[in-house]
Structure formats: C-alpha cells, structure tokens
Amino acid sequence: MLYLYAVTESPTPPDLPGLRGAPLRAVGEAGLFAIVSEHEELRVQPTEDDLWVHDSVVEALMDGASVLPVRLGSLVADDAAVLTFLLERRREFELAFERVRGAVELGVRAAMAPEGVAEPEPEDAVAAAGPGTGYMQARLRRERRGTEAASRIHEPLASLARASTFRVSARERPVLNAAYLVDRDRIEDFTTRVEELDRQSEAMIVCTGPWPPYSFSSEEMGR
C-alpha cells in the first residue's frame, strides 16, 4: 500500500525518510505528482511522531515547488490507484495550484484583553430578564466585542494576503485564530504589520509560519 503526503507539481521527492523510515518517491505525470511512501502494512496514528514526519515531508516539498498537503492517514492501494486519483481530480488540483502558487500560509492567534467590569444592570431589569436571558445577553456582548476587536486585527492583515480565513471564540477572553495566504515576497510586510498591531492593540498577537497552504488547498477554504 502507498501512503500519501501531498500533491505537487514537481517529480522530485524531498531527500528525507517518510513514515517508519520508508523512502519517498513521486507517482504521476504531466506536472501533477503525488509524493508517497510504500508499506507492507501501516497503521497511522495522530501521534506527535507521525504528525511530525508527515508535516516534515510536506514542508520540505514547499522549498522547491507548489504543494497541496494531503490529510494525515491517507492510504491508497498502489500506483494505479494514485494515477486514477490524480486524473479524476486533475482540474481541482490545477485550480488549487493557481490559488497557492508562489504563496505560503501564515497563522495568527490573538488573545484579546479580558472584558472590563461592566455597569451593573438594575435589579428589576435582571429579575425581569431572568438568569438564562442574562447569561445569553452577556454572551452576546462578549461575542460582539470579540468580533469587533478581531476585525481591527484581521482586516489590516487580510489586505496583505491573497485569501484568509478566521474564527473568533466566544470566551471571557475572546481569541482570534486566523490563517492568511501570503505571497512569498510579502512575508516581511505581513510580519511587520503583525508586530505593529501587537504594539498598538491590547491583544496578545502571535504569528507562526510560513507553512504549506493547509487552509487554502481546496476550493471551500480561504473564502
């Protein structure tokens, strides 16, 4: 059986071992290849070791070509099955390469400042609303506050990216988790803007990457 790591435009696999130390090779044709390793039997677990090997292969690939990561644990029977997989989804992969070619993924996590002490509601208003309604109103206020704060961070960064995706948790201390597809020649501009926002806002902002475009490898992502 063959284990799949990524789809790429290059026929040259990275010079490092795959899962369980198996050698890597490319299967494909006409500018569309899957990087695989061959195994008699393989049981992949979402352990730190397996994740590290899988990600190391994908990250090594991005040094020389555009790459579309395949999810951990993807197995196919043989070379013929890989070729069928590539042929049936060729147009999808070609469109994905157009989206990500020459770009990388940068991740941003921003923890907003805790909400300050709010004005107490009048007792009669609290009694009228009831504890359940009061809880929902407080949660809605946190969500609104978190979304507004996240937008002040997200929008300047999204303007420097080809595409982006984000979500905001509805906690007492809202957290923004975002991914940005950034041209390689704009990475420095992007990270500089993150540093500026970190200094200017009350949020604690961390930028990670560059990574392969995990969040933007399919048409459904990055909108």
pTM across the whole model: 0.78
Considering the domain 103-216 in this protein, what is its CATH number? 3.30.70
Residue 123 has pLDDT above 80, yes or no: no
| Rounded-to-integer distance, Cα 111 and Cα 204, Å | 5
Mean pLDDT, rounded, for 192-221: 86
Mean pLDDT, rounded, for 133-139: 62
Neighbouring-strand partners of residue 29:
32
3-state SS, one letter per residue, for 143-192: HHHHHHHHHHHHHHHHCCCCEEEEEECCCCCCEEEEEEEEEHHHHHHHHH
Mean pLDDT, rounded, for 142-147: 64
Query: In the block, which residue shows the tokens 């039997």?
Result: 41
How does 4-39 read in b/e, with b if 16+ C-beta sit within 10 Å?
Answer: bbbbbbbeebbeeebbeebebbbbbeeebbbbbbbb
| Rounded-to-integer distance, Cα 205 and Cα 3, Å | 36
pLDDT band at 119 (very low <50, low <70, confident <90, very high): very low
Residue 125 has pLDDT above 60, yes or no: no
Residue 177 has pLDDT above 50, yes or no: yes
pLDDT value at position 78?
95
Residue 201 has pLDDT above 90, yes or no: no
pLDDT band at 128 (very low <50, low <70, confident <90, very high): low
Report domain extents, the chain.
2-100, 103-216
Query: In the block, which residue shows the tokens 């040094």?
Result: 63
Query: In the block, which residue shows the tokens 């941003």?
Result: 108
Neighbouring-strand partners of residue 152:
none
Q: For the chain, what percent of residues have pLDDT higher than 70?
A: 81
pLDDT band at 141 (very low <50, low <70, confident <90, very high): low
pLDDT value at position 217?
86
- Residue with the larger pLDDT of the pair 207 and 145: 207
Specify the pairing of strand 75-76 against strand 103-111.
Answer: unpaired
Query: Average pLDDT, whole number, for the chain?
Result: 85
Mean pLDDT, rounded, for 7-19: 94
Other beta carbons within 10 angstroms of residue 97's beta carbon come to 19
